[in-house]
Chains A and B, each alone.
Chain A
Amino acid sequence: MNDPGGAAVALRAATLRYGRQPIWENLDLDVAPGERLAVLGPNGAGKTTLLKVLLGLIQLTAGTVTIDGRPPTRGSARIGYLAQQRVFDSDLPIRGRDLVQLGVDGHRLGLPWKRSRQADAAIEAVDAESYAAAPVGLLSGGQQQRLRIAQALAGRPRLLLLDEPLLSLDPASQQSVTSLVDGYCRAHGTTMVLVTHEITPVTGIIDRVLYVAGGRWAAGSPDKVMTTETLSSLYGSRIDVIRIRDHVVVVGEGAGTHHASGGGHHRGGHVSAGYQGDPARRERS
């Protein structure tokens, strides 16, 4: 597992520490082109940090990371990034269209007077034509999120990084955002890495799960990773994964409660994991 080969994203013994505090260690992971990976774990497990590593904003403490075989470069046009949703103030002087346009040329010098066909196409792709001219701050959370996705897609990325794309959205908006992203990635063969702490709404659109907790990690199909055994070893404490009909419920101290739907399609039948020896010794010292 040393050659990144044709992987869209490849991590080799990737380790990140803040000071001496490990965030995650010896992470080995390949994400194939067109694959969709969900990154799960409790708050502070380094999920967002992983996206920032892929964006080239944070350097690994040890190990390597490549995107399409090359080290990440800051501001790469190949990557579309949806940061965790922030509320736009109602008097923010910017319209939906401007926001999307910034995704195309916001990093370029000059005045923001241009209006590109790329931005128009992205707005069309998320069905936001009817409210793209409105001030962003006056739109609903779901509408804002669609425009932000259009912004991320406007550069026609090959890799889409989504940080909690469904957070604070109502179920209907969650559904529409999920199918929007799913449809786009399918149509364009776009690779997707999606950070979430709730797996339920995205089970239908992901191939694989990377679960990070307590400096350790496990990767594989949702069925293999979301089990009592795997999660208990990750957390180093008793975690119960209960399957009720089509749902998987994760209950335990430190894990919060996640719901995971057991349906969906899976790829690969094994779990790879990054912990050795007695997990209880390495955790909660």
Chain B
Amino acid sequence: MGLGFLLEQPFAQHALLAAALVSIAAGLISPFVVTRGMSFAVHGTSELAFTGAAAGLLVANNAVVGALVGSLVVAALIATLGARPRERDSAIGAILAFGMGMGILLLGFYQGYATAATNILFGNIFGVSGGQLLVLLALGLIVVVVMGIWYRPMLFASIDPETAEARGVPVGRLGLLFLLVLALTVTGAAQVVGTLLVLSLAITPGAAAQRLTASPLAVAGLSVFFAIAAADGGLLVSFEFTTVKASVFITSISFAIYVAARAAGPALRRRQQR
């Protein structure tokens, strides 16, 4: 199968489009994940998207909706149990461990599909149905719209919550909104790279972008670009090497960008100082 032939196939086009949209969402929230120190929350939410996906498969044979419900429930739990940053991480740890256990239990009931677990954990965007792709598109759009509207107050609240609060920014409510957007993004990204590897789209691009510039808008732009480059780039490469899962290439590209940014970053940022 040549690349050209594959690119004409609707399933490949859909996959590339879904990956791009999910990447835009992930790229937009990624700098905030880094600034707010919420990497572990991403990890926790995505692990529990696994539980949700397993439940979704079992109940309705629909992993995407299951993952969505799962990550929303987790976002709500993190918000209630871990309002303060220090207790947040321990709360997430407690929820995560229990949730994963439930996920394994649920998956045990789902007979005949040993691949189901692998697909949820490591992603399989080509196995996603047309209807589920629409759900992904909707998720991506919601995240983009929400971030477009609340970007500035979210930035203020992430960087300097005390001052932001004094200026009338609803810091607490924005924190909730961010968890919600995070849950949607995680659900989407989990379809592309799998719940275990969501971090490569939701954390790495923002972390890399921050190394290169301190302009908030440039960070957002670069982060989105890096996420798309990793997700769609990884999918394209996987068309050539069909025996290897796309997630392998996606995470590799994402990591390569991060390493390059860390190497180039100090010099670039020092130049900005002038």
Measuring CB to CB, which residues of chain A are less than 8 angstroms from any residue of chain B? 55, 57, 74-76, 79, 81-84, 86, 88, 91-95, 98-99, 102-103, 105-113, 131, 133-138, 148, 151
Contacts and interface: CB of A to CB of B under 8 A. Distances in A.
Contact of A105 (B150, B152, B269): B152
B156 A102 contact: yes
Interface string B150-170: 111101100110111111110
A95 B152 contact: no
B4 interface: no
Contacts of B160: 83, 86, 99, 102
Contacts of A74: 168
Contacts of B269: 135, 138
Contacts of B188: none
Given A107-B168, A110-B152, A81 B211 contact: no
Interface string B134-151: 000000000000001111
A247 to B, nearest CB: 33
A92 B153 contact: no
Contact of B214 (A103, A107, A136): A136
A138 B49 CA distance: 38
B118 interface: no
Nearest to A48: B162
Contact of B152 (A57, A91, A109): A109
B156 A106 contact: yes
Interface-centre pick from A93, A109, A113 (highest chain B CB count, 10 A) = A93
Contacts, number: 110
Interface string B161-199: 011111111000000000000000000000000000000
Interface of B: 31, 35, 148-153, 155-156, 159-160, 162-169, 209-211, 213-217, 219, 269-270, 272-274
A237 to B, nearest CB: 33
A81 B217 CA distance: 25
B110 to A, nearest CB: 42
B167 A106 contact: yes
Contacts of A55: 166
A83 B162 contact: yes
B80 to A, nearest CB: 22
A182 B136 CA distance: 56
28 contacts: A81-B166, A83-B162, A83-B163, A88-B159, A91-B211, A92-B35, A93-B31, A93-B209, A93-B215, A94-B214, A94-B216, A95-B214, A95-B272, A98-B214, A98-B215, A99-B160, A102-B156, A102-B160, A106-B153, A107-B156, A107-B167, A108-B152, A108-B153, A109-B149, A133-B272, A135-B273, A138-B270, A138-B273
Given A95-B272, A134-B273, A111 B148 contact: yes
Nearest to A84: B162
B183 to A, nearest CB: 22
Given A86-B160, A110-B151, A95 B215 contact: yes
